[in-house]
Amino acid sequence: MLWINLAGLLMIVFIVWWFWLFTPAQNEADGEHPIPILVKNGVYEPARIHISPGQTITLSFLRKDPSPCAEVVQFPDLGMSISLPVDNSYNVRLPPLQKGEYNFHCQMQMYRGTLIVD
């Protein structure tokens, strides 16, 4: 009897998690949640990020590469240049963007990424 109650409880927990708690994690580009970007081994991960026009988006850069190459991330179209700390997430808030593609890269343009606003 206890078993059945326990199984039922687990089922409820699972359903709550699946329908209410799990869903927001999929909507990373909805403007509420920062989009994590890993800076490691010469690449931004992900390097192509889809976002919606007119939304205020936050990118959360986690720089794992201590080399000076990875230090600065530049958004030339937005006139932004940001120094990233090593091993600490750093949030970069972007202004609302119009449709189009916006490149971002390190100073030497070895790290490269693209924001796709569509």
Q: Could you tell me which stretch among 26-34, 51-59, 94-102, 107-115 binds Cu ion (CB under 5 A)? A: 107-115
- Report the run of H or E that residue 7 belongs to, with start and end: helix 2-16
- Smallest distance from Cu ion to CB 52, Å: 29
Q: Which residues between 46 and 85 bind Cu ion (CB under 5 A)?
A: 69
- Smallest distance from Cu ion to CB 81, Å: 13
Binding of Cu ion by 108 (CB under 5 A)? yes
Q: From residue 55, give the alpha-carbon distance in Å to each of 33, 48, 59, 116.
A: 12, 17, 12, 13
Nearer to Cu ion, 38 or 69 (CB): 69
Provide the terminal-to-terminal Cα distance of the chain, rounded to the nearest Å. 54
